[in-house]
Amino acid sequence: MAYAIVIPTIARPSLYRLLASLAGQDPSSGPEQIVVVDDRPGVPPELEVRVGGLDPQVVRSGGNGPAAARNAGWRKTSAEWVVFVDDDVELAADWAARLASDLAGQPADVAGVQAKIRVPLPAHRRPTDAERNTAGLASAVWITADMAYRREALERVGGFDERFRRAYREDADLAVRIQRCGWRLVRGRRETIHPVRPDGEWASVRAQAGNADDVLMRRRHGLRWRQAAVAPRGRLSWHVATTACGLTAVVAGAAGARRTAVAAAAGWLALTAQFAWLRIKPGPATPAEIKRMVTTSIAIPPVATVHRLLGAWRYRMVEPHVQEWP
């Protein structure tokens, strides 16, 4: 079964581990083409991708995000199947053989085959908040950490929606649009490892930018978009309530309305403490983790609320997706 591999990257060191694992695959099950899409902004230094006998094609996409990078990559290929692989995953030694088995003989109405994602977690302690968030990828559906799509389906729907500028919801949006055209998406047997990578103390706060992408999903796919995308509900309503309490406390205090300010401050404190405890309880509860959970639990509600408002304004004119059937 002819397939091509597309790898969007910002030149993280993990890219070279991925390429080395690809070079070690059984050549009889290998890809027709490998395209590495350099999504660093501006004019970065040339990306060296010749590893272990591989000589992938390199395409630049200008730092416009993974959706645009994947589009730039798959449009440079010609194989029947396009396999999107993230640059921070690790492939098993028999990955190519299992992929070939996953793709072979798929019915014509199957447009995509997802890998099983495994996230290794520490065995000697409970996982941190960041590790639990990454572990959620193991149960996520249609994520492009390792996802194969038929070229016909990608061409039919126009590929990824490039308004999704971060690695969030762009894969769910594509999956919903493809399924609305009558195709099915299935899980394969190949397994891909997605390690937990260090993203810094404030990664959970930066991740709140995804609330703007949720607005775009709602505009594109309607009020029931979460059911269509198999996306669990978040805590946005709680974050809005927490932010409202905090803002009310500040405004009432400045206006001299002491009772209102005290009541609102008490509400803010209770909601913030509850949120922090929900994140601390399942974790290792080390002093560093507790400190991180408390500080980020204070910051997350207003940041999430602001991103939601910005998304509502940014995508206010987006037209709903028109359902198509073959």
Q: Summarize pLDDT for 164-209 with one digit per residue, the tens.
A: 999 999 999 999 999 999 999 999 999 999 999 888 899 999 999 9
Q: How confident is the model at residue 53 (pLDDT cuts 50, 70, 90)?
A: confident
Summarised one tens digit per residue, pLDDT across range 9-31 is 999 999 999 999 999 999 889 99
**Residue range 111-138: average pLDDT?**
95
Q: How confident is the model at residue 322 (pLDDT cuts 50, 70, 90)?
A: low
Taking the C-alpha atoms of residue 190 and residue 26, their distance in angstroms, rounded to an integer, is 14
Check pLDDT > 60 for residue 324.
Answer: no
Other Cβ atoms within 10 Å of 29 Cβ, number: 16
More confident residue, 324 or 282: 282
Taking the C-alpha atoms of residue 166 and residue 170, their distance in angstroms, rounded to an integer, is 8
Q: How confident is the model at residue 326 (pLDDT cuts 50, 70, 90)?
A: very low
Q: Where in the chain is the domain with CATH 3.90.550.10?
A: 3-198
Check pLDDT > 50 for residue 325.
Answer: no
Check if the beta carbon of residue 165 is closer than 8 Å to that of residue 96: no
Triad 131, 186, 110: Cα angle to 5°? 145
Q: Which residues are bridge partners to 6 per DSSP? A: 35, 84
61 burial via Cβ count (<10 Å: 0-12, 13-18, 19+)? buried
**Residue range 91-116: average pLDDT?**
95
Taking the C-alpha atoms of residue 102 and residue 105, their distance in angstroms, rounded to an integer, is 8
Whole-number average pLDDT of the chain? 94
Other Cβ atoms within 10 Å of 78 Cβ, number: 12
Note the CATH number of domain 3-198. Answer: 3.90.550.10
pLDDT for position 323: 56
pLDDT for position 200: 87
Separation in Å, CA 295 to CA 128, 288, 298: 15, 11, 5
Percent of the chain with pLDDT over 90: 90
Q: Is the pTM of this model over 0.85?
A: yes
Token look-up 């590495």 returns: 36
**Residue range 228-246: average pLDDT?**
95
pLDDT for position 52: 83
Triad 190, 157, 80: Cα angle to 5°? 45
pLDDT for position 44: 87
Of the candidates 270, 266, 241, 171, which has an alpha carbon nearest to the alpha carbon of residue 213? 171
